Chain A
Amino acid sequence: MAVKKRKERAVGGESGNSKKFKKYSNSKGPMKKNKNDKRKKGKGPRLPSALRTELDRLDPKIASDSDDGIDLDVGNDVYEYEEEVPQEESRKNRRFDPVENYEYELPEDFEDENVPSDEDDDDGDFGVGGNKGSLNDDVDASDGDEEEDDERHLRMLQGVTGMSTDAFGGKKKRNSVVISEAHPESEYNPTRDVLEGDSHITLQDLLDPIQGKAGYSKLRKRVQHMDRKSTSVQAPLPKVDREKLERMAVYEHSKKDITKWEHLVKRNREAPTVFFGGDVDLGFSTVGAIASEFEPRTEFEKKIASLVYDDKVMEAHKADGSKLLELNKISEEDYMKHQDHVAKMRGLLFRHEMKQKRIKKIKSKTYHRLKNKDKLKVESAEMLMDPEAAKEQARKQEFKRAEERMTLKHKNKSKWARRILERGLNAQDEGTRAAMAEQLHQHALLTRKINTVKDSSSSSDSSSDDDDEVSNEDRASELLEKAKEKTLKVLEDDEEVPNSGVLSLPFMVRGMKKRKEEAIEEAKLALQEYEQLEGTNDAENSKPATASGRRVFGRANNEVPDSNKKTKTDNKMKMDNYYGNSDSEDDLKAKENVNIEGGKRNDVEKDVGPNYDRKEAADVSIFKNFEDNGDPGSKTTYEVAIFASDSRRKMKSENGIDKNAKKLQQVKEAIVHDKDMEEGEEDSDSESKQMVDGILSSAPKESYELPSQSELIRHAFAGDYVEEEFEKDKQEILNEENPEPDKPVLLPGWGQWTRVQQKKGLPWWMLKEHEDSKRKREESLKKRKDAQLKHVIISEKVDKKAEKLQTKSLPYPFTSKELFEQSMRMPIGSESNPETAIRSLNRPEVVKKPGVIIKPIKFVEMHHHEKSEDNKRSGQKQKKNKSKGASGKNKKQSN
């Protein structure tokens, strides 16, 4: 290497001559200079150094000529390259300043500087000076250079290994002895290493020379140590992979970081209500806080403030108030004055009181009347003058009216008025009558307002009230009179036949006439009735009303009123009980009443008779059978039988009772049972079953051969075709829900041209269609739920109104039908919930205030206990949210 460098330097020296060069001959570090030389000069392409050295060797002359020569020689076939004449040679500009260089002389005291090699720049030198450097000089210089290189190398080694310079000293010495090779290093002159085939320099090679030197063992140990733990340093990853790894790490980290929000988010989501902008700062919260900010503005306030915040007073307050007493001291004069004033006021008051007493004692009516008149005058004058007084007056009036409405004081309700009315108004003198009239007038006046507001309702109310009152007779007569009047009016009324329109048509006129005649007839009848009624104005008035409900019963009805009369109260009670029941029950009741009275069997028969006319013969026969038996309990059996035949619905219970009768147990008991049954059907049901058990146990005792159970029932219900009826009902419903297909019909005339066609009958497709629809119907009937159940009808008709209230499928958030139904089980309105519950029931999901800015979520650390609670039950946190929720610290910041 050194040889090569030297050679190059020689070349450079030849080409680049300068004045400075002399200087450099002594200087150190030409190696660098040469490098620079090469680098900077390389305007054209450079040959590889090996090639160049070879060239040098082959033809030093060319090489020594110039670099350009080389370039030209080689470049022609390798490169298409045009090298311009170097600038320094073309002298196109004066950049290079030739003159000074020529005339430059060194000063006497000039000394060579150790200029750093970096500065060496003989590029710019002009090829003016001759080649002054000889080969020897070069060698010397290179030697010097090498020395310095070695030194540096040593320093480096020392730095690396941390050993003294001595360890490497031998090498240096040896190096100094080494003679460079005769020929430059090239492929034609390979080094020994290359020839031996081992081009690598191992560590051992380096270590060998210093064997035996100081520090060698240490070094060797280190090397061995390194050998043992040989770990090769990996090459750094490509940038792409590195970044990817980094990103992964970053993502993991941020993922973990963002998870901290989870509890807050979860809480927010699960909360039934989220509050936003909840705690807006409204300023002062307490009265004290507001008062502390108070500042007196008006004069009065200032005056008060000056008194309150008087220094003396403040001080007095400070010292436990004892000084306040001193401040309270009043002078004697003031006290006396005050006392006098009080005495005077008292005297005045007393005198006034006495006067009032005296006036009150005056009994003269005229005086009071005059006084009242005066008062009224004054008041009316005041009213005109003062709106306040007018208002007061109106209020008083209103109050009076209300009082009247409440007490009905003026409505002939007082003892006095009642007494007078009892005696009859006509018997009274003029004054009393006038007073009564006055009272009534007063009443009318006071209650007028309410009448005008809702006359219809109030009138009806009053009429109903009157019914309750004891003195309803005159009321009734009044009513009658009114009715009479009206009917008369109708009678007298002249028919006005309209001249035009539909009503003027002849047939309409005729019809109307007819109708009118009817109406008149009716009116006449009514009039007669009214007159009758007026003749007998007593409690029996109510009779037709009560009787009207029972008119249906025909002959039985005749007896009912009698019995009613006898046991009026009893009957009334019963009527209450049975209100709305069927006719038969009423019948029965009537009979029962008779029974209770202790009537004979004949009686019963008579009662029952008329009813039986309508019944089937079978019933009667069975009835007679029982009669033949002549049992003491037959009375009840009759009743029961009647009952049974009357109402089919209660078949079962009646069955039981029939048997009961046959069993001939205690009659009284049976009667009791009957009564029970009448009162409550369910009760009787169960009881009768017990009775059936009783029958089974005691039946053999009888000598009389009883017909079998089924036979009895068959006899009893010979007329009842329950099963058939049920079948029919079911069939009807089936037909309704799955209608039977219509029979195929040809339109008359169609397809009937010839007899042939007629003979053929209906076309095949019509028949087929019919068959199909029939089959379909049957199938659908088979599919019905009640197809196999004989005694049941399950309607499969879809109720459209109910469908509106049902969903087709389970809506999304709900997981089961029960939950969904639960969600709307209880009403949430204010009608069915107390005020406190409504608020939470109706609270919307998001509660926010308009105009309040909502800030994004703020992180709130979750407390430990909260966390555990959270895990246990995540359902109930509504209120917590308000205080700690996401919206947390929103403050009103708008503006």
Chain B
Amino acid sequence: MKVKVISRSTDEFTRERSQDLQRVFRNFDPSLRSQEKAVEYVRALNAAKLDKIFARPFIGAMDGHRDSIKCMAKNPNYLKAIFSGSDDGDIRLWDLASRRTVCQFPGHQGAVQGLTVSTDGSVLVSCGSDCTVRLWNVPDANLADSDNLSDNSAKPVAVYVWKNAFRAVDHQWDGDLFATAGAQVDIWNHNRSQPVNTFDWGADTTISVRFNPGEPNILATSANDRSITLYDLRMSSPARKVIMRTKTNSIAWNPMEPMNFTSANEDCNCYSYDARKLEEAKCVHKDHVSAVMDIDFSPTGREFVTGSYDRTVRIFQYNGGHSREIYHTKRMQRVFCVKCSCDASYVISGSDDTNLRLWKAKASEQLGVVLPRERKKHEYLEAVKNRYKHLPEVKRIVRHRHLPRPVYKAANLRRTMIEAERRKEQRRKAHSAPGSIVTEPVRKRRIIKEVE
């Protein structure tokens, strides 16, 4: 009797190491797997569910300040460091890995209103309501790592006293200029005790300033007169101003798209602008239910994080109308400042409750070393989920978030109001002569005018 056996060549099936996987040959004929699509749909569904299960975004809180945190700055050259300034004039340098204060910078008499670090990460600039700008040397990273807690307070390298209180400061990318916002916009040099340039357009106080990281000579400010102003340092002149219906609290430039910036507005929305076309916003990002206090772009330029007065932190896609993620805890109060870490995988928020909080940028991401096979699996599940995200069941699971009751109620209320407004508009339109009432898109509605 003859027995047929499967013949396999040893060359193809011998493993190099005993840890290697056995080689598997597959027949990719689609007719053999007619159910593959259904299988993938189920996988997508399960992936969405697993994402929900593994969503643990909160990593930890950093406690130490004695007053609400007003501003933060990340070290563009060192991943683990973050600076925070509070209302009582305290500035601290934190080590994100151990979540401890590494160094303190005492000196400010009033609230610290702005912090920024030079691009090489060596100089910290702070400004406050005590009308001073202080420059500090950032302690060496290696020194900071060692546990010498005895000498952890630094002295300022320079203190520049100026005429008015400051509201914000930002450092130029790859340059030695920094800009402060206050009664006017001042451009400073590290080595001069007086601003090298001053811009004054309009009477109201400027409340935020941000340099364009891609195009280091362009900066944008927002002011109390509800305006957003662009400046060009090469011509040392303001360029354009756009006035909105409500105040803009903060501005962030997209680091990967130098022409685009997003503004955090008092009316709960964020507005993405193209600096070349200011007559209408490119995208309106809605979801917050109270004023958006701060905004920061992820270094990938694909998403940004916002902190709001409604005690939540949200993450938006750069082109998405609604948020991808919402973070909140019971104890987190009004969020005044948010930052995205330099490797785009963490989010840090500073709030009224004197704590800094560290979050994952992707709630269900696995931290630590991920083996290639594992990564491949994650990627596959992500891809499948992305593919079937439009189907109702997957969509529902992916979008669902538990909200704090006040936020939930406020969101409902807002929705009702907007809907009512829309209905009214519709009726008005229906009952007037055709063409007499033009509905302006939301992107334009909140803009009053563009000032030259």
Question: Which residues in A have some Cβ–Cβ distance to B below 8 Å?
Answer: 244, 246-251, 253-255, 257-259, 261-262, 265, 268, 274, 276-277, 470, 803-808, 811, 820, 823-824, 826-834, 838, 841-846, 848-857, 859, 886, 893-895
Contacts and interface: CB of A to CB of B under 8 A. Distances in A.
A338 B58 CA distance: 76
A405 B224 CA distance: 86
5 contacts: A251-B230, A251-B240, A258-B259, A470-B1, A854-B344
B344 A276 contact: yes
B300 interface: yes
Contact of A854 (B78, B342, B367, B382): B342
B214 A857 contact: yes
Contact of B300 (A265, A806, A846): A846
Interface string B72-89: 000011111000000000
Contacts of B232: 250-251, 253-254
A884 B78 CA distance: 25
Interface stretch (B107-115, B156-164, B185-193, B384-392): B384-392
A808 B28 CA distance: 32
B345 interface: yes
Contacts, number: 172
Contacts of B384: 828-829
Interface string B227-270: 00010101101111000000000000001111110000000000
Interface of B: 1, 26, 28, 30, 33, 36-37, 39-41, 43, 76-80, 141-142, 173, 213-215, 218, 230, 232, 234-235, 237-240, 255-260, 275-276, 299-302, 342-345, 367, 376, 379-380, 382-384, 387-388, 390-393, 452
B343 A853 contact: yes
A589 to B, nearest CB: 31
Contacts of A244: 452
Given A247-B238, A255-B276, A850 B379 contact: no
Given A842-B376, A848-B343, A856 B255 contact: yes
Q: For B43, B257, B452, which residue has the most chain A Cβ atoms within 10 angstroms? A: B257
Contacts of B345: 848, 850
B342 A843 contact: no
Contacts of B142: 895
A200 B115 CA distance: 66
Contacts of A895: 78-79, 141-142
Contacts of B255: 854, 856-857
Contact of A831 (B36, B276, B392): B36
Contacts of A855: 299
B380 A828 contact: yes
Given A277-B343, A828-B384, A832-B28, A857 B257 contact: yes
Contact of B235 (A253, A262, A824, A859): A253
A853 B341 CA distance: 9
Question: Mostly helix, strand, loop or mixed at chain B's interface?
Answer: loop
Given A846-B302, A894-B78, A833 B28 contact: yes
Given A807-B392, A824-B37, A848-B344, A247 B240 contact: yes
Contacts of A257: 215
Contact of B30 (A247, A251, A811, A832): A832
Contacts of A827: 33, 36-37, 39-40
Contacts of A808: 392
A513 B262 CA distance: 85
Contacts of A845: 302
B302 A274 contact: yes
Closest 10 CB pairs between A and B? A854-B299, A856-B255, A856-B213, A251-B239, A811-B390, A827-B36, A842-B383, A853-B342, A894-B79, A250-B235
A824 B384 CA distance: 9
Contacts of A277: 343
Given A259-B276, A831-B26, 18 more contacts: A247-B239, A251-B232, A258-B276, A265-B260, A811-B390, A824-B387, A829-B384, A831-B33, A843-B379, A844-B379, A846-B302, A848-B344, A850-B345, A851-B79, A856-B214, A857-B255, A886-B256, A894-B342
B236 to A, nearest CB: 9
Contacts of A834: 28
Contacts of A253: 232, 235
Nearest to B277: A255
Given A853-B76, A857-B255, A824 B388 contact: yes
Contact of A251 (B76, B392, B452): B452
A34 to B, nearest CB: 44
A255 B258 CA distance: 11
Nearest to B41: A805
Contacts of A803: 392
Nearest to A254: B232
A183 B399 CA distance: 100
B40 A829 contact: yes
Nearest to A261: B258
A16 B379 CA distance: 101
B257 A805 contact: no
Contacts of B33: 827, 831-832
Given A807-B392, A832-B28, A261 B214 contact: yes
A894 B78 CA distance: 5
Q: For B1, B213, B218, B258, which residue has the most chain A Cβ atoms within 10 angstroms? A: B258
